[in-house]
């Protein structure tokens, strides 16, 4: 199979890039393995135009319908390797390989989890959340905990103090970090003993600490970091940070001819609005970097 542009990843970033490219009348295809972070969003309240919010699954379904109407092939599969040569990039997968002049990588990240066994149900019910920038507003006045290594979690805890006077940081491990502890103390954020266990408890989450005590929280935000699905690009030589986020230029190029990075896989603010912006920039650049195919004269206009 040969296409002008291949989009790897069918989350908000990849779907948006495909919508732009199809509307530029480019041959574009999407390969998607079906594990979008957006599918976990119970109801997003920071999408423009949806004052009452929209579930992430509904956003994905609407965008999938849009690409379907534009006749963009959506291949349900995982790309396992990329190879560059002769001005093309070849994507290997289960099934025939795909040759493309440009590839847009929109593969996202996977959040590292706390020890909570049924975390997906807690996310569905709004007890466990990942994105203070997205839904901190909806946590106003609630009893909130942030779980993670102090160095990593302190920023999220201080951010959440804007919304609530009852913010607790629950460390993982025995990290001292006196500087951050002083900053948290000055802002009125309590730091508990290290986390031992976490379980759902009747509409809240109950944390058990290293000293054996237990406390319930209405909302918990993990700050455990993420696994970045950037290995396809890194193996091709893409620029990246030490934790695997792609480093891109102003046109979303990541240092490999014909390859772009967009959405959460890029070092940036991990938001749908940002993913959309990346997608628009990469799609426009990819379009203008390929030879133009002008329209044939049309008889229907006169």
Ligand X SMILES: Cc1cc2nc3c(=O)[nH]c(=O)nc-3n(C[C@H](O)[C@H](O)[C@H](O)COP(=O)(O)OP(=O)(O)OC[C@H]3O[C@@H](n4cnc5c(N)ncnc54)[C@H](O)[C@@H]3O)c2cc1C
**196 touching ligand X, by CB under 6 A:** no
157 SS3 class: helix
Does 59 bind ligand X (CB under 6 A)? Our answer is no
Shortest Å distance, C-beta 134 to ligand X: 3
31 burial type by CB count under 10 A (0-12 exposed, 13-18 middle, 19+ buried)? buried
Residue indicated by tokens 């954020």:
189
- The secondary structure of 15-55 as a DSSP string is HHHHHHHHHTT--EEEEE-S--GGGG-S-BS-STT-TT-B-
Question: 120 vs 66, 128, 136, CA distance in Å?
Answer: 28, 8, 19
- Residue found by looking up tokens 């070849």 in the block: 90
Write out the binding residues for ligand X, residues 67-126 only, by CB under 6 A: 78-79, 106-108, 111, 123
In the complex, the smallest distance separating the C-beta of residue 261 from ligand X, rounded to whole angstroms, is 9
Stretch that binds ligand X, among 129-137, 180-188, 195-203, 285-293 (CB under 6 A): 129-137
DSSP state, 151?
H
* Phi, psi torsion values for 129, nearest 5 degrees: -135, 160
Give the count of beta carbons closer than 10 Å to the beta carbon of residue 300. Answer: 4
Shortest Cβ 8–ligand X spacing (Å): 5
Contact between 131 and ligand X by CB under 6 A: the answer reads yes
Among 6, 7, 13, 207, contact with ligand X (rule: CB under 6 A):
13
Q: What phi, psi does 111 have (nearest 5°)?
A: -65, 135
Paired tokens of 230 = 């950037």
- Asked if 31 interacts with ligand X (CB under 6 A), we say yes
Contacts of 115 (CB under 8 A, 6+ apart): 195, 197, 198
Residue 220, phi then psi, degrees to nearest 5: -125, 130
Among 3, 114, 168, 271, indicate the residue that binds ligand X (CB under 6 A).
Answer: 271
Closest approach, Cβ 269 to ligand X, in A, equals: 8
Instruction: Give yes or no for residue 272 binding ligand X (CB under 6 A).
Output: yes
Q: Which of 130, 163, 217, 276 binds ligand X (CB under 6 A)?
A: 130
Q: Which of 236, 263, 282, 286 is close enough to bind ligand X by CB under 6 A?
A: 263
Interface with ligand X includes 33 (CB under 6 A)?
A: yes
Question: Judged by CB under 6 A, how many residues of this single chain contact ligand X?
Answer: 40
Does the footprint of ligand X cover residue 277 (CB under 6 A)?
Answer: no
Q: How far is it, in rounded angstroms, from Cα 230 to Cα 189? A: 35
Contact 113, 205 (CB under 8 A): no
Rule CB under 6 A: say whether 223 interacts with ligand X.
no
Residue 63 touching ligand X (CB under 6 A): no
* Residue 264 in contact with ligand X, rule: CB under 6 A: yes
Our CB check for ligand X shows the closer of 73 and 193 to be: 73
Q: How far is the CB of 266 from ligand X (least distance, A)?
A: 8
Residues that bind ligand X (CB under 6 A): 8-14, 31-38, 40-41, 44, 46, 78-79, 106-108, 111, 123, 129-131, 134-135, 229, 232, 263-264, 270-273, 275
């Amino acid at each position: 199979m040969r296409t002008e542009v291949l989009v790897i990843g069918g989350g908000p970033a990849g779907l948006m890039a495909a919508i732009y490219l199809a509307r530029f009348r480019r041959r574009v295809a999407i390969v998607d393995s079906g594990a979008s972070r957006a599918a976990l969003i119970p109801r997003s309240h920071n999408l423009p135009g949806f004052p009452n919010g929209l579930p992430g699954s509904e956003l994905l379904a609407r965008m999938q319908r849009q690409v379907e109407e534009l006749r963009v092939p959506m291949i349900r599969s995982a790309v396992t390797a990329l190879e560059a040569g002769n001005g093309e990039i070849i994507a290997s997968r289960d099934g025939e390989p795909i040759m493309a002049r440009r590839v847009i990588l929109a593969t996202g990240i996977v959040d590292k989890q706390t020890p909570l066994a049924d975390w997906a149900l807690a996310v569905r019910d709004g007890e466990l959340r990942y994105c203070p920038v997205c839904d901190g507003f909806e946590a106003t006045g609630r009893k909130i905990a942030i779980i993670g290594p102090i160095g990593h979690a302190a920023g999220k805890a201080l951010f959440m103090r804007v919304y609530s006077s009852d913010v607790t940081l629950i460390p993982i491990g025995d990290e001292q970090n006196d500087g951050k502890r002083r900053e948290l103390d000055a802002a009125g954020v309590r730091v508990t003993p290290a986390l031992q266990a976490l379980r759902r408890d009747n509409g809240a989450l109950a944390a058990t600490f290293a000293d054996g005590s237990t406390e319930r929280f209405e909302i918990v935000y993990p700050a455990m970091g993420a696994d970045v699905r950037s290995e396809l690009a890194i193996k091709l030589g893409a620029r990246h940070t030490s934790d695997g986020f792609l480093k891109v230029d102003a046109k979303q190029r990541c240092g490999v001819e014909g390859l772009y990075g967009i959405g959460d896989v890029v070092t940036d603010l991990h938001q749908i609005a940002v993913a959309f912006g990346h997608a628009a920039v990469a799609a426009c650049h990819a379009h203008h970097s390929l030879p133009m195919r002008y329209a044939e004269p049309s008889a229907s206009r006169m």
